């Protein structure tokens, strides 16, 4: 695996390619974006592209707040609550007012 840590500390938005700034620029190893959300995925069985057998492998992407808001307005984003028990997660559609409406 290549090490891109020096060149790509902050990934651009995967939807619109907007260049993103770090949320905490003073931290040496911070690649968390400002005005964006960082997502990670360990793949899934249904993917024909990313379903790693290696348990410690994951993908990471950033989505800027504008693109996330737009996707939420189109009901393209699920929000879920994950409990520490065996209870299944509960899902609904996410939008930027989700927490205020709970």
Which range in 10-18, 21-29, 37-45, 85-93 contacts Zn ion by CB under 5 A? 10-18
Residues 23-62 that bind Zn ion (CB under 5 A): none
According to DSSP, the residues that pair with 22 across neighbouring strands are 33
- The span from the CA of 31 to the CA of 19, in Å, is 13
Is 13 near Zn ion (CB under 5 A)? yes
Rule CB under 5 A: choose which of 67, 70, 71, 94 binds Zn ion.
67
Rule CB under 5 A: choose which of 10, 11, 20, 64 binds Zn ion.
64
22: Cβ contacts below 8 Å, ≥ 6 apart: 9, 10, 30, 31, 32, 33, 34
């Amino acid at each position: 695996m290549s090490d891109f840590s020096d060149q790509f500390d902050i990934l651009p938005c995967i939807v619109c390619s907007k260049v993103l700034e770090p949320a905490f620029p003073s931290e040496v190893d911070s690649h968390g974006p400002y005005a964006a959300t960082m997502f990670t995925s360990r793949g899934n069985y249904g993917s024909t592209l990313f379903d790693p057998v290696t348990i410690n492998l994951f993908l990471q992407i950033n989505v800027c707040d504008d693109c996330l808001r737009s996707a939420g307005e189109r009901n393209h984003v699920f929000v879920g609550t994950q409990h520490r028990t065996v209870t299944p997660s509960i899902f609904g559609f996410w939008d930027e007012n989700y927490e205020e409406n709970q």
